Amino acid sequence: MVRILLITTALLVMVLFLVLPLLTVFIQALSAGFGAYVAAIVDPNVTAAIGLTLLIAAIAVPANLVFGIVASWCIARFRFPGRSVLLTLIDLPFSISPVVAGLLEVLLFGLNGLLGPFLAAHGVQIIFALPGMVLATIFVTFPFVAREVIPLAQEQGNDEEEAAVTLGASGLQIFWRVSLPKIRWGLFYGVLLCNARAMGEFGAVSVVSGKVFGSTDTLPLAVESLYESYEIQAAFAAASLLALLALATLVLKAALEWWHRDEIAASRPRTSARPQKAA
Amino acid sequence: MTADIAVSHVSRSFGAHKVLDDVSLTVAPGELLALLGPSGSGKTTLLRLIAGLDQPDSGRITIGDIDASSRKPKERGVGFVFQHYALFRHMSVFENIAFPLRVRKAGKTEIRARVVELLRLIQLEALAKRYPSQLSGGQRQRVALARALASQPRVLLLDEPFGALDAVVRRDLRRWLHHLHREMNITTIFVTHDQEEAFELADRVVIMQQGRISQQGTPMDIYRQPANIFVHEFLGESNRIACHVVDLKVRADAGYFLGQTDGADGAATAFVRPHQIAVRPSASGPWRVAQIASSGTHARLTLAWQETRLESGMTADALLAAGLAVGTPVDIAFTGGAVFREGGAPSALQNQPEEKSVSDIGRTQLSVL
């Protein structure tokens, strides 16, 4: 009885908070017919926003991928002063409001900011331009890859790398053949999440973008611009693209997990094979 | 005969803790050597230094005729089997074994032939496509061994090779490794804290204590003549008896007679293993069987005389044949043992009855048999 009650409650909550809103997005987007839906998307301002969103993600995601690998490698391999500080700092973007993150950037790179005058003197514009939006996105999506990979690398330890050393592998060979493959599933999830967030980020990017519709608007910003100018159907059409992105991410993740289920099972940590540590 | 591995005056500290303190050791070609010691005695550190996974603070290590201290691990010709195997979890058994060949850029056909050969050696041909997590502990151990042997190393180093396995698998693998060593005759060092394992497998045993070598020699030599109290106690249980030596005669401080020994007079400690106390029923005592604990094939007897308690061991069959039970009055004889004096070398305890009557000697020998 309790079980049925709990399951029903869980299902109701899920439908109310997840399924219904998602459906509403598509219903609203298609409310004026499929032709109007397509027209809203191929609007030059919207296609520009799509392009900008893709561009920012294409820069921010690889940057955070590299950072995640380096950070996890350092933290799992070495004991150095400031190690725990670094671990804490990685979580900072999670605990700070994206709007504050955007403001920090304005304070740093803006015309009246710390580095602003210097940059302006050299003709570099960061705030209200692409570089600022990329930096804000990198900042906000910073933890996704690192957070997935660091615990994995820490748990797997250094044994396999040491084995590779005794088997005659060079540093580069160890990285490509051992260290990278053993964390690749963590990396993959991290990248998927990082990408979804990079494309969907609103707060931080909104502060630094200047919101010039058709020029420095990303897709989430375009949704807001359209909504505020009472183009409800067009706003939902753009929003439906973001919803589709979320769905595609989930489907891709599930599909890859299913295709590679043997390998994923095999690469799980072998806790059963590690009894107490002897001398 | 030149040494295959020579370790000379090697020291290594971690912080303030001296893990290895001026250790010197040579291993002959084809030898199977055991590094035996309790945890924290430095044996694994020594193995890692030989493999090149760590660098000594001082001292020299040579492998064959090359000075290994300056060489990278890959140039040392060393195969290393880790305690927890450290197999590559994302690679199949085949790829694990092929790894040392791939990083050396061996040809495809050569790799295939060598891996197949090794798979046959470890009797796991059927499991080539499995991942390590799909193998049992014993199978993983064998894969790790095959991987270490793939590049035909000059020496093989094994860190607690049977540490993580259950008793039956352990025994089988031990025999298998022994057989393999005989067949391939590769110079091998293995680390263990299990005295039985070391003595059964090794040609020579090196006993380590607190970063130093306590004693080295063949299992038989070490067992017969432990160099010090640490080694004697590490090799198995003993009765520890405070005693005095007077005119080569050894008498326990509690009053009973132990036997004869060489060396100086004075206070000493005698160590007598349970099986070195022969027990026979004797109506006049003076000892008495206080307790019997049987573990199936063997029985352990606690013998009592006044406040003194000694442990004796014998086979369950011998116990039955002698007709011993709790409360039986018995006489005992010490058939062996070691006498340690403060700061001096130990001497053997010999079985010499105090009064040499012919019938006593005869009876003692009988009970020994």
Concatenated DSSP letters for B289-307? EEEEEE-SSEEEEEEEETT
Rg, Å, chain B Cα set: 25
- Containing H/E element for A252? helix A232-259
Residue B33: which of B232, B209, B213, B210 has the closest Cα? B213
Question: In terms of CA atoms, which chain B residue is nearest residue A270?
Answer: B133
Task: Identify the CA nearest to B143 among candidates B224, B82, B201, B191.
Answer: B82
Residue of B nearest to A167 (CA): B100
Q: How far apart are CA B261 and CA B269, in angstroms?
A: 12
CB A165 to CB B85 under 8 A? no
- What confidence tens digit (pLDDT) does each residue in B108-156 have? 999 999 999 999 988 899 999 999 988 988 899 999 999 999 988 889 9
Cα B61 from chain centroid? 24
The answer on pLDDT for A7 being more than 90 is yes
- Mean pLDDT for the stretch of residues A154-175: 88
Residue A167: list chain B partners with CB under 8 A. Answer: 74, 99-100, 103, 147-148, 150-151
Q: Given this model, what pLDDT does residue A270 score? A: 47
Identify the band that residue A266 occupies on the pLDDT scale cut at 50, 70 and 90.
low
Length in residues, chain B:
369
Put simply, the answer to whether A278 touches B163 (Cβ < 8 Å) is: yes
| Residue numbers of chain B with a pLDDT score lower than 50 | 1, 356-369
Distance from B78 to chain A by nearest Cα, in Å?
Answer: 7
pLDDT at residue A193 is higher than 80? yes
Q: What is the pLDDT of residue A278?
A: 38
Bridge partners, residue B34, by sequence: B190, B205
Contact list, B87 vs chain A (CB under 8 Å): 160, 163
How many residue pairs bridge chain A and chain B with CB atoms within 8 Å of each other? 103
Facing A173 at nearest CB: one of B73, B83, B103: B103
Closest CB to A279 among B53, B132, B193: B193
What residues of chain B lie within 8 A of the CB of A273, using their CB?
Answer: 84-85, 133, 137, 140, 164
Distance CA B183, CA A53 (A): 66
- Of residues A110 and A276, the one with the higher pLDDT is A110
pLDDT of residue B309: 86
| Angstrom distances, CA of residue B25 to CA of B3, B68, B155, B205 | 10, 14, 15, 11
Predicted confidence at residue A4, as pLDDT, reads 92
Nearest neighbour of A166 by CB, restricted to B51, B91, B164:
B51
pLDDT at A191: 92
Q: What pLDDT does residue B45 have? A: 93
pTM (2 decimals)? 0.76
Residues A19-53: pLDDT tens digits? 999 899 999 899 888 889 999 889 888 899 999 99
Rounded to whole angstroms, how far apart are CA atoms A171 and A161?
9
From the CA of B349, how many Å to the nearest CA of chain A? 35
Question: In this predicted model, what pLDDT tens digit does every residue of A51-98 receive, in sequence order?
Answer: 999 999 999 999 999 988 888 888 777 778 888 888 888 888 888 888
- The rounded percent of chain B whose pLDDT value lies above 90 is 28
Q: How far apart are CA A138 and CA A116, in angstroms?
A: 20
Q: Could you say which of 2.40.30.10, 1.10.3720.10, 3.20.20.140, 1.10.10.10 is the CATH number of the domain covering A45-267?
A: 1.10.3720.10
B137 interaction partners in chain A (CB closer than 8 Å): 273
What pLDDT, on the 0 to 100 scale, is given for residue A267? 59
ipTM here: 0.76
Q: Is the pLDDT of residue A186 over 90?
A: no
List the single best residue of A167, A261, A264 to mutate versus B (max B Cβ within 10 A).
A167
Domains of chain B listed by start with CATH number: 5-226 (3.40.50.300), 237-368 (no CATH)
Torsion region of A81: left, alpha or beta (phi above 0 gives left; psi -120 to 50 gives alpha) = beta
Chosen for mutation from B14, B35, B89, B135 (greatest number of chain A CBs closer than 10 Å) is B89
So what's the pLDDT on residue A10?
Answer: 94
Terminal Cα-to-Cα distance of chain B (whole angstroms): 42
**Helix, strand or coil, per DSSP, at residue B353:** coil
- pLDDT tens track for B280-333: 888 887 888 888 888 888 888 888 888 888 888 888 888 888 888 888 888 888
Q: Report the pLDDT value the prediction gives residue B2, as an integer from 0 to 100.
A: 67
Tokens linked to A105: 């950037």
Q: Do B41 and A279 touch (CB under 8 A)?
A: yes
Residue A102: which residues within 8 A CB-CB, separation 6 or more? A136, A203, A204, A205, A206, A207, A208
